[in-house]
Amino acid sequence: MAKVLVFIDNPGDSLKKSSLELLTLGRSLGETAVALNGKLHDDVAATFGEYGVGAVLLPSAEDLDDFLVAPKAAYVAAAAEQLGATIVLLDNSPEGKEIAARAGIRLNAGVITDVVAVDADGTAHKSVLAGSYNTACKASTAVSVLTVKANNVVPEPAAAPTPLETVTVEVPAASTAAAARITAREQKVASGRPDLTDARIVVAGGRGLDGDFGPVEELADALGAAVGASRAATDAGWISHDAQVGQTGKTVSPQLYISAGISGAIQQKAGMQTAKVIVAVNKDAESPVFEIADFGIVGDLFNVLPQATAEIKKRKG
């Protein structure tokens, strides 16, 4: 049976949904172990057991968070070697991909990012060129390193919980020597809304909002959605750059994407055209977004969005 290593970075006292997805995927591919960075909280250890994790590997060094990527990658590679893992799974965050990138070089292992599904033989599926192609890829090396996008696996505990063993992994000391040091970290204020890349519903606004994100935020909150934006809106400074959906921002594949006041040029389309259902509201009937919308409304978003928000609140009681 294949040995699968899942890297989880600083879970705190509970595991994120995307981590549970990785554990579920890992179990479908073989015997899973976790390489953890940070403290192993009792509740997290219990969840590992429920998800069939046999071993938790912990780094010998406690200062991995003080450096950018390199020592974490060295740790993940050392853990994979110690375990004899042939599949390494990480989340698809920018840092997850970079840890995968460097661990891949250390392990002589092929790295595949943006994975949405993995077959039993290790073949990974992903979409490329802004969602215009679906591809199947496989590492030709003994070990494969895969970063997996959120929301593609349904988290499911194992049939029977497993007893958990903890093992220490020696982090190569040289890995911090040539690493950039993080000298300050500033937490951003949490919005209370779902994370844009993981959200089931996204309501996004663009140039047509003319600086006022109110109608988009109110509709998003009525739907329990994340708020997104076009590059025009983030470049204008109407909303944080974190909210940008598109080629140079985030790629999202929610169940529902509501686009308001966004023309839908290629730069925006690249970030959202794999959404299951697209709804568009725009004053201009010629907007390209209407070519890809399942339901389009030619109209003033300042009338349409508040009316929809009120109607949703009414129906939800």
Looking at residues 47 to 76 of the shown chain, list those that interact with other proteins (rule: CB under 8 A). 68-70, 73
Round the CA-based radius of gyration of the chain to a whole number and report it: 21
> Which of 14, 210, 212, 241 touches other proteins (CB under 8 A)?
241
Q: Confirm if 5 and 83 have CB atoms less than 8 A apart.
A: yes
Sites for other proteins among residues 78-107 (CB under 8 A)? 94-95, 97-98, 100-102, 104-106
Sites for other proteins among residues 173-232 (CB under 8 A)? 178-188, 190, 195-196, 201, 223
> Which of 12, 60, 266, 284 touches other proteins (CB under 8 A)?
266
Q: Which is nearer to other proteins, 85 or 305 (CB)?
A: 305
CA separation for the pair 153, 33 (Å, rounded): 18
Q: Does 273 bind other proteins (CB under 8 A)?
A: yes
CA separation for the pair 47, 106 (Å, rounded): 30
Q: In the complex, what is the shortest distance from the CB of residue 64 to other proteins, in angstroms, rounded to a whole number?
A: 14
Q: Which is nearer to other proteins, 86 or 309 (CB)?
A: 309
> Which of 50, 81, 114, 156 touches other proteins (CB under 8 A)?
114
Q: Which is nearer to other proteins, 157 or 288 (CB)?
A: 288
Q: Which is nearer to other proteins, 129 or 160 (CB)?
A: 129
For residue 161, the surrounding DSSP H or E stretch is none
Q: Which is nearer to other proteins, 160 or 189 (CB)?
A: 189
Q: How far is CA 231 from CA 165, 260, 264, in A?
A: 48, 13, 11
Q: Output the six-digit token pair for 146.
A: 């895969």
Q: Does 8 bind other proteins (CB under 8 A)?
A: no
CB count in 10 Å sphere of residue 297: 18
- Main-chain phi, psi angles of 145, to 5 degrees: -115, 120
User: Which range touches other proteins (CB under 8 A), out of 24-32, 154-162, 205-213, 263-271?
Assistant: 263-271
User: Which range touches other proteins (CB under 8 A), out of 19-27, 30-38, 53-61, 295-303?
Assistant: 295-303
C-alpha dihedral, 306 to 309 to 313 to 315, nearest 10°? 110
Q: Which is nearer to other proteins, 47 or 147 (CB)?
A: 147
Nearest residue to 103 (alpha-carbon basis) of 118, 120, 85 = 85
Nearest residue to 86 (alpha-carbon basis) of 172, 37, 26 = 26
CA separation for the pair 110, 88 (Å, rounded): 10
Per-position x/- string for 125-164, each x denoting binding to other proteins as judged by CB under 8 A, each - no binding: --xxxxxxxxxxxxxxx-----------------------
Q: Output the six-digit token pair for 252.
A: 């999202």
